[in-house]
A = this chain, B = another copy of it.
Amino acid sequence: MYKPETIKQLLERNPLNDSVTVMGWVRTFRSNRFIALNDGSTLTTLQCVVDFETLEDGLLSQIHTGTALKLTGLFVESQGKGQSVEIQVNNLEILGTADPDHFPIQPKKHSLEFLREKAHLRIRTNTFAAIMRVRSALAFAVHQYFNSNGFFYMNTPIITGSDAEGAGEMFKLSNTDFFGKETHLTVSGQLEAETYAMGLGKVYTFGPTFRAENSNTSRHLAEFWMIEPEMAFYDLEDTMELAEDFIKNTIGYVLEHCKEDLSFLEQRLTDEDKTKPENERSPMLLLEKLKFVVDKPFIRLSYTEAFEILKYSKENQKKKFKYPISEWGSDLQSEHERYLVEKHFNAPVVLFDYPAKIKAFYMRLNEDQQTVRAMDVLFPGIGEIVGGSQREERLDVLELKINQMGIDAQELWWYLELRKFGTAVHSGFGLGFERLVMFATGMGNIRDVIPYPRTPQNAEF
């Protein structure tokens, strides 16, 4: 354990009646006596009781919300309500003041929009500290899950000269002389991950990816973090099993390790929902929704089966869908996905064998020549959270597909070589990390689950 000790470590150690030292920021100061001190290590604030009569002159007037303090005192059982322990301060040092006339993070309700403008300070609120602690725990759960299941972490390139993937608009670099050609920022590490799966067996990426699309929505970022496992010798069944187990484990991890933060975020969501019209409220409480995903076996059915269910649903018959279901082969919308999950099955759903026309070139063609071995995992509240597929490992089929879609085969020479030398069944999926964080924290805007969001017209900080 390092010095300085954090409040979390101190509370765990619980050295009753010992003298201790803590540092942190004042959250509130009331009655010239009770400081609620927070250092970010936990949601819990530590009550520090000062005796204003013995305090040095001039110190008291500097204690405001946001002031950084170093306190020494006796760690004792609290006589007051609301906390079990407190510090009876006998030495107080002001590390840094926070003028209440200028420090924007005051102990009152701030809108999320206001806090986005103060992205460098919003981490000092309970809400953002809780979100970011959960985000950190989720990231660790991802690494721990893959590591303990025999996957190797790999870093695929961010700057790339290949633009064949076609997952979206790309950011281009202006330094073309440096690499001697046009380069841009990656939209996915999948193709490179495939090359490593064909040597190491099971690999995963977890890194930033980019889209230069002008989407100013609550669900899109220009820069976001993606998790992409890729497995040699896995077929689509194996991959659906992996995706379910992976999600249950990572969500299970935060349920176990982030109880306090999740309870706080659940309350925040409940309060927020009260201000909304009934039909826009969350279908479940936050913890209930997370347990729903961990406990319920995911329902697996083909796109075609889902299409039939949707087509003959009351919602569709009564024209309640914004996008009516009529033709086999069209892409499903979020409203259809949520109908399946929240109404029809009341369970997370995995759809597979999608129409080839609406999916990417690298997905393995089924014998019917109409569908591909793709799968999407659908969740309550948000719809698709995972998209994956068995990859087309047959050189001739892949080349045909590339030609049909007008993709430059030259650019993909190395990707095609995987099918020339020791090709094998393999599969993978992708998961946008921020979507997972949104799901786990109940936040409705993706700008609030990443420290410094990049969106159209916004690259501040």
Contacts and interface: CB of A to CB of B under 8 A. Distances in A.
A194 to B, nearest CB: 9
A451 B192 CA distance: 9
Interface string A155-197: 1111111100000000111110011110101000000100110
Interface in A34-56: 39-41
Contacts of A361: none
Given A96-B421, A171-B178, A420-B102, A199 B124 contact: yes
A201 B425 CA distance: 46
Given A68-B422, A414-B120, A157 B95 contact: no
Contacts of A222: 159, 178
Given A174-B173, A417-B121, A223 B451 contact: no
A23 interface: yes
Interface stretch (A207-215, A295-303, A334-342, A368-376): A207-215
Contact of A39 (B102, B135, B196, B201): B201
Given A157-B461, A158-B223, A175-B212, A421 B103 contact: yes
Contacts of A133: 152, 200
Interface of A: 2-4, 6, 8-9, 23-26, 39-41, 66-68, 70, 95-99, 102-103, 105, 119-121, 123-124, 128-129, 132-133, 135-136, 139-140, 143-144, 147, 149-150, 152-162, 171-175, 178-181, 183, 185, 192, 195-196, 198-202, 207-208, 210, 212, 214, 222-223, 225, 232-234, 238, 241-242, 245, 393, 414-415, 417-425, 450-452, 454, 456-461
24 contacts: A4-B233, A4-B238, A6-B201, A25-B422, A95-B423, A98-B421, A123-B198, A124-B199, A132-B152, A133-B152, A136-B147, A136-B153, A144-B144, A157-B459, A158-B208, A158-B210, A159-B210, A159-B222, A160-B459, A162-B461, A172-B175, A179-B458, A192-B452, A195-B461
